[in-house]
Chain A
């Protein structure tokens, strides 16, 4: 027991003694309430990530997309001590001692954020022994945490960094289950442990899934759910239990008494109902997204983002009205029935509707080219007559996913005080001919196309054919 708590007990006893003679009480009823949200440790696997050293840097002369829809020509981007210090035009004063990089003819953007990745939990090589993304043993596995599956040696992290300029990514459990477990947000920096990659202060997400995957996986096992109505039924039953669990803990944390027993799955759901954990919901079809929005209202939670929202373009207004983001591929379609209505204008129509929208990969190859994927979505939109600027389209890769992950105060744009997660591109990043030239994470240069030593090689790749190849 901490000293602070001991003192509080002493004060409580003293106050009680003032009124009348204190009656003997059991130890349980004597225990004071721990306070809201303090009944147990909510962060038992804390981040041990730390920023690597960098030097005060000035990128000068580039076209800058700030990630929030702003654009500066001939811009200057300054960062030091891991943080963006200022961005501006050519007249922005460069602090003495800065390393100045001539970025004329090049582009500078905030680092790419992929809100939907399975790097680490479905790593390369994709052998059964490393297949750790789906705990497909029950339709509700809200008790599993993706970070306990993440293999920090996945070679995919380096490809996402070097080819895609990805600096932050959310690793989700898979979509076999209605409630597949907790996500984890990572900085794209190799570490010996998953905790060493964990984005400090990022909220957890709960991965939920609509539609065909849960009904197929459990239907084929002859158990509920085997239909879409079964999906919602099991979800609602589970939320009802979670609400009851939360009531018990709220009562205990506010009034004391006997501590309720822990249920690791319900901890996560309670975190959602408290607004501490964000819902990241795999959901393709417009009608199913609408069902989920109503279910969320019924139980008093909020969906942060629908992922794979192939039909989001049909209900941009509904998503906007409910403050839900849509995370989508540029152009995947038709690979299963619930993706049959995919169109490449999805993102652009969402933008036109004013809906929060992001690109995402769900893919170890696609994550290497999210800038190109956004570029395709942008071009498709323009051909359909939707006028979107390049700098606005960059919000799909930056501030919007940061918002949907609850980390927009820390990263997702080039704003003074934010993490210096920065990409210098060797051309227009919406061109197929462009690649990242340098990538900084928290102000540390972690990739440089011109320096072979600044190209990470994971443990798995050491001694393998192709080790150290530029890939």
Chain B
């Protein structure tokens, strides 16, 4: 118990600050699709990556961390997340992910309410996740609203980029949220994009207005191509309909989310240069829009030249951000199955680091250990994609992070479940 108390005291007493650190001797995974480098060095300073790889010199005055026998990588980037806006989706009172009963949709901006006290942030951070795309779910219409890129640091300032993208449902879920059917959702989307071209003309006082002025304004950056549009679609027909948006709005930075049947038209997605945040390894026809689901989707899309990240969207109840490494590992595992298409290790690791960042145009900022990126660095006790591996040290923006969470406190309290001289409530 003593070590815990000390750890807690250290957390409170020590100001978290960005320092110059050289992590030496570890197996370094850059996160850009390249293969891991044995005995590499990673240098961070002023909250950014200075250098990473073989033969990198240790700067004078740097704190040297010996990572011999360990792995060093960028933090995991979770591209579909509700961290900070939901404490647990079975607890409706805590749910800020889905808006119902508001006049607004596309204008909703989750960056205004990211809660860093939710236990998920610390727990998922301890699994090596350092950034997440927080996405509002479709509620009033098929527009979820404007998502934010956040960091999972132990501080009260989580937002890396507010209003980082707009989120839209155009598949089966659009039926629920877009006016009844997929075709109806498309009409509403088109109407909204027309309104976005001239929000001043929107009669926002009319209760019959299909879109508010605020929503139309929020879509301006989307049609100008300064804010990516994430579109959740699964089946071929829906993917094609989404790609067709680019014909009318060439500037749109479209990103497909889900795209379970994407492999069937991988060449068309590649030709459109549209990135995909895919549903990782789901392989069941859980919906009629995912009849062609296969774990080979990501591999086949990648092989066709599509930029692919993976997420836990469409995965089941449990899978959290922490599952991303496991999912990526499974994409490597299937390379040994005849007929399946997987990824090599470097490609697989990129699907949860640099690829999500690149998908929304932030590859220059986060998701890899290339120089100049935010210094989100994890030291792992083994291959980060392997089941048994876990982080032993984490930096976010160059700031060393605590490795404890509410879960570790519960664990330490109940390693021996029997009560002693006083109730468990006195063990902390």
Contacts and interface: CB of A to CB of B under 8 A. Distances in A.
Given A313-B417, A314-B417, A336-B88, A379 B387 contact: yes
24 contacts: A125-B285, A125-B286, A126-B286, A127-B288, A156-B284, A314-B414, A331-B318, A334-B88, A334-B120, A334-B123, A336-B91, A337-B90, A339-B90, A363-B317, A365-B319, A376-B326, A376-B388, A384-B411, A431-B386, A431-B387, A432-B333, A433-B332, A464-B285, A471-B293
Contacts of A452: 338-339
Interface in B316-331: 316-320, 322, 326, 329-330
Interface in A327-378: 329, 331-337, 339-345, 349, 352-353, 363-366, 368-369, 372, 375-376, 378
Contact of B387 (A316, A340, A345, A372): A372
A343 B411 contact: yes
A125 B287 contact: yes
Contacts of B414: 313-314, 343, 349
Contacts of A369: 326, 330
B89 interface: yes
Nearest to B424: A314
Q: Which 4 A-B pairs have the closest CB atoms?
A: A336-B90, A432-B329, A466-B292, A465-B292
Interface in A309-334: 313-317, 329, 331-334
Interface string B188-206: 0000000000000000000
A364 B88 CA distance: 21
Given A337-B88, A349-B414, A432-B326, A365 B285 contact: no
Interface string B278-303: 00001111111001111110000000
Contacts of A366: 316, 318
A74 interface: no
B292, B296, B339 interface centre (most CB from chain A within 10 Å)? B339
Interface in B255-277: 261, 264
Nearest to A466: B292
B87 A471 contact: no
Given A124-B286, A332-B317, A435-B333, A317 B387 contact: no
If over half of A's interface residues share one DSSP class (helix, strand or loop), that class is named, otherwise mixed; here it is loop
Contact of B88 (A339, A344, A471): A339
A204 interface: no
Contact of B322 (A315, A329, A331): A331
B240 to A, nearest CB: 14
Interface string B382-405: 000111111000000000000000
Given A430-B388, A449-B338, A466-B291, A372 B326 contact: yes
Contacts of A336: 88-91
Contact of A466 (B119, B293, B318, B411): B293
Contacts of A375: 387-388
A375 B330 CA distance: 14
Given A317-B417, A384-B415, A433-B332, A470 B284 contact: no
Nearest to B89: A335
Nearest to A350: B417
Given A353-B417, A365-B282, A430-B387, A335 B90 contact: yes
A212 B334 CA distance: 39
Nearest to B90: A336
A159 B283 contact: yes
Contacts of B320: 331
Contacts of B17: none
Contacts of A435: 333-334, 336-337
Contacts of A299: none
B264 to A, nearest CB: 7
Contacts of A341: 410
A426 B261 CA distance: 28
B405 to A, nearest CB: 9
Interface in B224-261: 236, 261
A469 B318 contact: no
A470 B410 contact: no
Nearest to B295: A471
B407 interface: yes
A334 B119 contact: yes
Contacts of B291: 125, 464-466
A6 interface: no
Contact of A470 (B329, B340, B386): B340
B315 interface: yes
A141 B318 CA distance: 27
A45 interface: no
B418 interface: yes
A20 B94 CA distance: 80
A469 B340 CA distance: 8
A434 interface: yes
Given A125-B285, A466-B291, A333 B123 contact: yes
Nearest to B284: A124
A470 B294 contact: yes
A125 B290 CA distance: 9
A455 B366 CA distance: 42
A452 B339 CA distance: 9
A272 to B, nearest CB: 28
A273 B286 CA distance: 38
A383 interface: yes
A335 B417 CA distance: 24
A432 B417 contact: no
A460 B333 contact: no
A339 B119 CA distance: 12
B304 to A, nearest CB: 16
A212, A314, A349, A471 interface centre (most CB from chain B within 10 Å)? A471
Contacts of A430: 387-388
B286, B295, B333, B387 interface centre (most CB from chain A within 10 Å)? B387
A233 B410 CA distance: 31
Nearest to B94: A337
A406 interface: no
Nearest to A336: B90
A465 B235 CA distance: 10
Contacts of A466: 285, 291-294
Interface string A446-465: 00011010000000110011
A110 interface: no
Contacts of A469: 292, 294, 296, 339
B317 A315 contact: no
A333 B236 CA distance: 34
A443 interface: no
B339 A432 contact: no
B32 to A, nearest CB: 21
A139 interface: no
A315 B286 contact: no
A155 interface: yes
B285 A461 contact: yes
Contacts of B319: 365
Interface in A110-143: 124-127
A159 B329 contact: no
Contacts of A470: 294-296, 334, 337-340
A8 B125 CA distance: 73
A432 B386 contact: yes
Given A334-B88, A343-B407, A431-B386, A155 B285 contact: yes
A313 B411 CA distance: 9
A210 to B, nearest CB: 15
